[in-house]
Structure 1
């Protein structure tokens, strides 16, 4: 009887060990599938991001091409000219050029190549130009039509704050005026 009992205990222990090993293998296999799924999802996210960046770059090239044509041909510029008619044509063309620079920085930001702090620093330099400041004021009505929650509207508000800080600064050291945002 004792021998049977010991044999049954050994088989019972072996069976329990096999069950534990099988459970461990099942858990490990499930974990590998989850890890593989996570890696696949991350790969798809990165592919989507690359496609979006490529589309943004293409859109920026197209916008530059269209604005270049408007800069080269005043008759084409009239199509997109929404500035006050009292502004001389030469100044409106300068506004188009200022807009190209602003859009360039905006797209660099959207592509993830410039964070808001870097964009702020570049714009702080651009706003040393009286023409750029005049462009910003003349285009206020265009920004007013933006959805308040859009990235473009939020950046516009940031720039409005920068312009206000520059106007109120008591120092000629423009490169330290304002507090750059942190992302």
Structure 2
């Protein structure tokens, strides 16, 4: 709007000057003296219109630049909103999958026949200890999900995990599964960080100072 207003003002000024010049020529108050002076008069008018045309081009470019900048800002906001929506959708889907996983663990804990479907933790693991391992897995899965949702900041996660690892059963469970988890989940940055905190807690209780 401001660019168009400026262009209109300049156009009105140029037309006013041209009108004054035409009136002077028509009334004879400023009659040209020969073809040279007449040519000079038209050269002045031509220069004024050329300057006006240049100003119009510059104003047009300025308006287009501002519009392009606004479009880029709007596209950036839309892209950020789409990325945020994608992250939220992923977290929601992951939460649903983990809830299903936890439900399967609960079913195995409550039914020995279903517990036998899960892979053995080792030949020396009794049925009672296997149920306890399933429950320990359920606890750590719950903490891992909270770690993903709540984020890395705002909670003393090493202390929270260390408190869980005060249980000898949790320590025994981690001793059995740690090598597999640290190897298989190495590609997931969040799970890798969580498992590293579990490993630190395990080492702390394994070799107390």
Fold shared by both chains (TM-score > 0.5):
yes
5+ residue gaps, structure 1, are 171-183
- What is the match of residue 94 of structure 1? 132
Pick which of 46-55 and 134-143 moved more: 134-143
Q: Give the aligned CA root-mean-square deviation in angstroms.
A: 2.1
Which residue, 130, 140, 160 being the options, matches 2:199?
Answer: 160
* 8 Å contact kept, 2:178–2:199: no
Q: Structure 1 pair 140/82, CA: closer, same or farther in 2 (3 Å)?
A: farther
5+ residue gaps, structure 2, are 1-36
User: Which structure features the higher share of helix residues?
Assistant: 2
* 8 Å contact kept, 1:146–1:153: no
Cα offset, 1:88, TM superposition: 2.0
Query: Normalization by structure 1: what TM-score?
Result: 0.81
Q: Structure 1 pair 82/119, CA: closer, same or farther in 2 (3 Å)?
A: farther
Which residue, 188, 193, 201 being the options, matches 1:150?
Answer: 188
How far apart, in 1, do the equivalents of 2:116 and 2:186 lie? 28
- What is the match of residue 27 of structure 1? 65
Bigger Rg, which one: 2
Pick which of 6-15 and 75-84 moved more: 6-15
How far apart, in 2, do the equivalents of 1:159 and 1:165 lie? 10
How far apart, in 2, do the equivalents of 1:52 and 1:118 lie? 25
- What is the match of residue 176 of structure 1? none
Q: Structure 1 pair 121/147, CA: closer, same or farther in 2 (3 Å)?
A: same
Q: Which runs of structure 1 show a deviation greater than 6 angstroms over 4 or more consecutive aligned residues?
A: none
1:91-123: CA deviation from partner (whole Å, max 9, x where unpaired): 211111111010111122233x14177432211
Cα offset, 1:40, TM superposition: 1.8
- Secondary structure of 1:80's counterpart equals coil
Note if 1:10 corresponds to 2:48: yes
State how 1:19-168 maps to structure 2 within 5 Å. Answer: 19-111=57-149, 113-115=150-152, 118-143=156-181, 145-151=183-189, 152-168=191-207
Pick which of 51-60 and 158-167 moved more: 158-167
Query: Normalization by structure 2: what TM-score?
Result: 0.72
